[in-house]
């Protein structure tokens, strides 16, 4: 999986977490995190330097 796709997948996981958050106070955290992943995906798509895919995906593997 390319880093761009990995980052976008992580963003989707964060959006799902925001939608299912029981505590309304948790939603802004997940939305901000999703936004950060999308910025990384955009940077990776442009050939930026944050293309290291050694870190595992968030959300789906940790639960």
Measured between alpha carbons, how far is 23 from 8 in angstroms, rounded to an integer? 24
Structure tokens, 49: 């330097």
Does the CA dihedral 21-6-52-41 come out positive or negative? negative
Report the percentage of the chain scoring pLDDT > 90: 67
pLDDT at 55: 58
CB contact at 8 A, 55 and 13? no
Q: What is the pLDDT of residues 29-40, one digit of tens each?
A: 999 999 999 999
Q: If you average pLDDT over residues 18-39, what whole number do you get?
A: 96
Q: What is the DSSP letter of 44?
A: H
């Amino acid at each position: 999986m390319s880093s761009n796709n990995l980052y976008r997948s992580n963003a989707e996981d964060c959006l799902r977490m925001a939608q299912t958050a029981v505590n309304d106070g948790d939603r802004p955290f997940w939305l901000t995190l999703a936004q950060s992943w999308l910025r990384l995906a955009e940077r990776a798509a442009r050939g930026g330097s944050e293309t290291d895919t050694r870190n595992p995906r968030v959300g789906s593997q940790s639960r």
